[in-house]
């Protein structure tokens, strides 16, 4: 009952205007539309409130005009408008390949950094030039 009263009051407030505050939408229009459009379009188990909304022609026209203005692909077809001729997926994002490569490199550097910092992987010096192994600290102290 309260929801039906609310819809009726909204209908009275909207009157014959295109939006609630004149010819351009405001945040109230976005809020009201976000509540009315699903109520108008969705299949509901109990359709009493939906039937009441459909009886308020100005609110139905309000939702329809916003849908056609801001969501033109939702005009019954259920799919977005086709891309202009000659545009391929590669042209949508000209830097797509570069961004993918950079993402992989950043991930690789992050994994290697974690492996080194956590001690999973460590780098040890091997045999130096002329087959000599580096002198350990203990041996160095003994020689002095």
H or E element, residue 103: helix 96-118
pLDDT of 10: 92
Q: Within a 13 Å sphere around the CA of 107, how many CA atoms are in the beta-carbon half?
A: 6
40 CB-near residues (< 8 Å, 6+ apart): 50, 53, 54, 59, 60, 63
Crossing angle for the helix pair 57-70 and 27-41, nearest 10 degrees?
Answer: 100
Chunked in runs of 10, what are the mean pLDDT values of the chain (144 residues)? 92 90 88 91 86 92 89 60 49 79 90 88 71 56 51
Tell me the angle at which helices 2-14 and 48-55 cross, rounded to the nearest 10 degrees: 20
Give residue 91's pLDDT: 53
Dump strand ranges (E) for the chain.
none
Contact 8, 56 (CB under 8 A): yes
Q: What is the pTM of this model?
A: 0.49
Distance CA 137, CA 134 (A): 9
Distance CA 56, CA 18 (A): 14
Domain assignments of the chain as residue spans, ordered by start: 1-71
């Amino acid at each position: 009952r309260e929801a039906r009263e609310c819809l009726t009051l909204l209908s009275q407030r909207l009157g014959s205007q295109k939006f609630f505050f004149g010819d351009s939408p405001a945040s109230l229009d976005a809020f009201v539309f976000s509540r009315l459009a699903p109520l108008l379009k969705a299949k509901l188990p109990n359709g009493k409130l939906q039937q009441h909304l459909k009886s308020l022609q100005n609110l139905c026209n309000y939702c329809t005009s916003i849908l056609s203005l801001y969501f033109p692909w939702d005009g019954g077809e259920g799919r977005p408008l086709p891309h202009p001729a000659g545009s391929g997926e590669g042209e949508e994002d000209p830097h797509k390949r570069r961004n993918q490569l950079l993402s992989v490199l950043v991930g690789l550097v992050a994994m290697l950094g974690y492996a080194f910092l956590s001690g999973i992987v460590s780098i040890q010096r091997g045999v130096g030039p002329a087959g000599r192994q580096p002198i350990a600290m203990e041996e160095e102290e003994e020689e002095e």
